Every structure is written in C-alpha cells, then in structure tokens.
Structure 1
Amino acid sequence: MPVISTADLSIGYKSSSIVSNINLQLRTGRIICLLGPNGAGKTTLMKTLLGRIKPMGGNVTYTQTSIEEMAAAIDHPSFFPYLSGRQNVQVASAFWGVDVDPESALNGVGIDRAAQGRKAKDYSTGMKERLELCLAMLPRPRFLFLDEPQNGLDADGMISLTATLRAYRDAGNCVVISTHLLHEIQGVPDECIVIRHGRAEQITDLTGVNIADLYHGR
C-alpha cells in the first residue's frame, strides 16, 4: 500500500518553525481532513509533503509512491481565468500528457455543459472550486491535496463533492483536505490530523467523533 510517512518532521518558513515533531502516516484508500485555525500550518504541511517546501527538520518518506504521483489544488487559482472551463481542461491535459474528454471531466465535478464554454473568471466561487478539483484530478494522482475545497459550494455542491471524493478514495487513492467548514465536512473524512499549538495529532478512527470537538480541542 502506498504510504507517505513523516518522522520528527518540523515545518515552517526561513528560521521560523510552525509545527514540530510531526509523526504521521498517510495511506491510500483514505480521506484525511486537516483541521486547525488559520496560520496553524495546514497549507505548509501540505506543501512540505508535496516537496514544494523543504522541511526544517526530520524526514518525509514515500513508500511505493513518489512526488510524481501527487497533485494539489492549493495555490488558487490554478486555472487560466480568460479561458473557458473546457479550454482549461484541454491545456492541463496536454501539460500532463493525458487523454481526457473535457466534457466528461467537467461533468464529473458538476460543471454542466452550458457552463463549459464560459470563461472561468465568470464562474461562481463554487464553480471555480469545482474547476480546481477537476484540474487537480486530471493526472489521476495517488495522493490528492485540496485546500478548502468546500468554499462557495451550496448543499447540492457539497453532496456532489462528497460523492466525488469518496469515489476517488474507493478507487484506491488518498485525499487530503483542509477545511474550516466543520459541520459540512462531518461524516466525510475517514480520519483527521489536528494541528494546533505547534503540534500535529493524527486521529485514525472517527467513529462517534464530532469534528468540531476535535477542532476546539475537546
């Protein structure tokens, strides 16, 4: 089973450490939620695991996988605002060297055919989030990192997102999401990583657990 492991990992920027002594295991076939207040280090941890930021200490180990099998929607926007949704998929597909039908890809994240020809800059906030998700999924990464993917989604959008993430997990992949929409995400992740006070704690069994209680440290 592909796994990303950390051992005594410390993350931060320049000489300032944000989170220390991080010992985690991210396995495929799981949806993992990163919880923590703004500035706690959620995005920094994602970027470190993706190899975009060098750790300040400790190690990240990739077992039966590599950075090439990872993708993310973190630095928004990742799309070209003056291209249509369809054109964005075509450009990204060419970049990744994958053969993808743009209409099917966009339909898969709930962007209907009528919207696919519109410029991405004219999409609603929720539609932009769906486009970000679509583009991140194009190379079919084993590990998919998403920063606040629920932003701007209505109830139907949340249902669609949940179904998409679960299907992606069930195909043998790992999805890591950060969020502050605690009630909306309840029941979606299989486990959580809680980051607060410079420490990270992994909770692998969420049976009967209220995510809001984890966030507030109860």
Structure 2
Amino acid sequence: MADTPIALVTGAAHGLGLEVATQLAAAGMAVLIAARDVDAATAAADPVAGVEALPVSLDISDPHSVTQAARVVAETPGRLDVLVNNAAGYVDWSETASGADLAAAEAVMQINLFGTWRLTQALLPLLRRSPNPRVVNVSSGAGSHIDPDFGLTARHGAAATYGISKAALNALTATFAAELSDTDVLVNAVCPGLTATFPGAEQMGARPVNASARGVVWAATLPSDGPRGGFFRDGQRLGW
C-alpha cells in the first residue's frame, strides 16, 4: 500500500466521476471518491475493488467542508498523488448572458471555478510531497472558442454560465501550471466530450462514460515529462 498511488476524485458518486475512479483503480491506484452525499458515495464505492468513499461530505463550494475533507485525507491515508476535480455545477442549458439569473450564475462559479481552486489549494501541500503528483480539472468544450457544437459562441451563446465557468477553469489550470512549472506537479484540463450522463444524451450523440473517462485517466497518469497547463480531449490538445 505504501507504494500504491492514491487518487481523489470529486463529484464521483455516479456518472463520469465514478467511471474515472473505476478506471484509475483498474490501473493500480487506491482511489477515494468524494461527494456531497456520503451515503451515495459509499454505496457507489462498495462494489468497486480499489475504490473507497471519503468518510465526510465534500461540498467544494463550502470552505469548511473543503478544510474538513483535506484534513481527513491528510490524516488517512496521509498522502495524495492524483487529484481529479470532477465536481461541477450547471444551470438551464437555454440560459443566455443577457437573461441570466446572476445569483444562480454565482452559485455555479462557486463550484466550477472557486470550488476547484479552493480544493486544489487545500490539497496542494500533500500533492507536493508526492513523487508523481497530478491535478486534472475536468473542463468542457463549452469553455472553448473553437468547439463548433458547444463552444462559447456556439448555439447563440446558450448555457452562458457553464461555458464562462469552464473558460475560467481553463485559465485557472494554465495559471496553476505556470506557478508549479518548476515542481513535479503536472496540472492539466480535460474535456471528456459529450457524455451520456443525463436523459436524452444519447440522442444528442453522447458517448458512454467509459469512453469519456479515458481522457481523464490519461491526464491523471501522465509521465513526468508530460504536458503542463494544457487543455485536452482524448489525449489530443484543444484550443481554448
């Protein structure tokens, strides 16, 4: 166990996060999954070998919750090698910038940007002590200028808050990577692509979670000379 890499995946009681955790465990990691609902995370982890639930709730928009979770990880298992920031907030996909409820928009930003920022800050001391530390921020083509289907200027600017928050997350990724460029910590963002995690997704052309998770796992298992501060889908660099 002492030599087994330890990963933490947030927002992982179901869907993409749980699949990422499952694939990381299959790759030989000991994986902790975190969610706001501890019981749901525990039930999701129980059938999966190599995956356990963090024994406390993790709401990354809540500073106290993040501090408590970081303390638990620091105590048991006492180290961390991989952080996958998968937890995310959403709004109505028809939302536009001009008509947005800014209170709802702020709540999404508290998760997608500030929550990820907050948790990364809290766990960075542990990651710095790892021989192969990796941070993967699960982003989206919605935060890109070039994604033809879901980008910032696609669909007449719909899903405004989500796209803006993911563009901000990409900027955060690049900034953290620049700060940590002289360390062993590799920080990257990954767009998993449109994934079948909601009703009707398949009719929109979404792919199954196991296919989408592979790109996240790729970034979590990069070699020491791997890229830093990039935005990727399926291991291929994207513009943003």
- What range describes the TM-score normalised by the shorter chain of this pair? 0.3 to 0.5
TM-score with structure 2 setting the length:
0.32
* RCO higher in structure (CA 8 A, sep ≥6): 1
Greater strand percent: which structure? 1
